[in-house]
Amino acid sequence: MKQSILGEFNREQEAFIKEKQQAGEKIDGTTPAPWVGYPNEEALKEQILSLSTDRRNFVRSPPAGVEFQFDLESFMPVAQATLAQDPNLQQMRFELVPKVISEDNFWRNYFYRVGLIRQSSELTSMAEESSMSAGATESGPDGTG
């Protein structure tokens, strides 16, 4: 189930990116970093930025059997936006590409993990919203239910 949700999420993201590119649109004149516009944006940014401190996040491929569609050309504007805000990512790319791993695989592995973090953040946000709305409907105005 998680694999299909992640696959669907990535397809939607790619479609959105392609749609914006075809329309010549950029949000605020630039392509946003991968955490922009998500619930808990600051926490998400922190988690995504922490990816670039561990070499394994770039040299380990997604697990076998996981459907992760990736097209470097589609992701490149987001990659460039992220590079501009993450010096550790710049350094990691300098150290690994092309000596250890190809450009395409570097970004594939990175964006696979970015997708997992965003998916987890969205699920957490949905769970919080669900529990808050459930709590509001279960108790009466005086809190007695």
CB 44 within 8 A of CB 124: no
pLDDT digits (tens, 9 = 90+) for 127-144: 888 888 776 655 555 555
Structural domains for the chain = 2-129 (1.10.3970.10)
Which residues 6+ apart lie within 8 Å of 32 measured at CB? 78, 81
Q: Is the pLDDT of residue 7 over 80?
A: no
- pLDDT per position as a tens digit, 30-39: 789 999 988 8
Distance between CA atoms of residues 54 and 61, nearest Å: 14
- Cut 0.95: pTM above it: no
Q: For residue 57, is pLDDT > 80?
A: yes
Q: What CA–CA distance (Å, rounded) separates 69 from 111?
A: 10
64-81: pLDDT as tens digits: 999 889 999 999 999 999
User: What is the spatial distance between Cα 50 and Cα 140, in angstroms, rounded to a whole number?
Assistant: 43
- Contact (Cβ atoms closer than 8 angstroms) between residue 139 and residue 73: no
Mapping DSSP to helix (H, G, I), strand (E, B) and coil, where does residue 124 land? helix
Would you state the torsion angle of the CA atoms of residues 74, 77, 81, 87, taken in this order, to the nearest 10 degrees? 80
Per-residue pLDDT for 23 more than 80?
no
Task: Give strand ranges (E) for the chain.
Answer: none
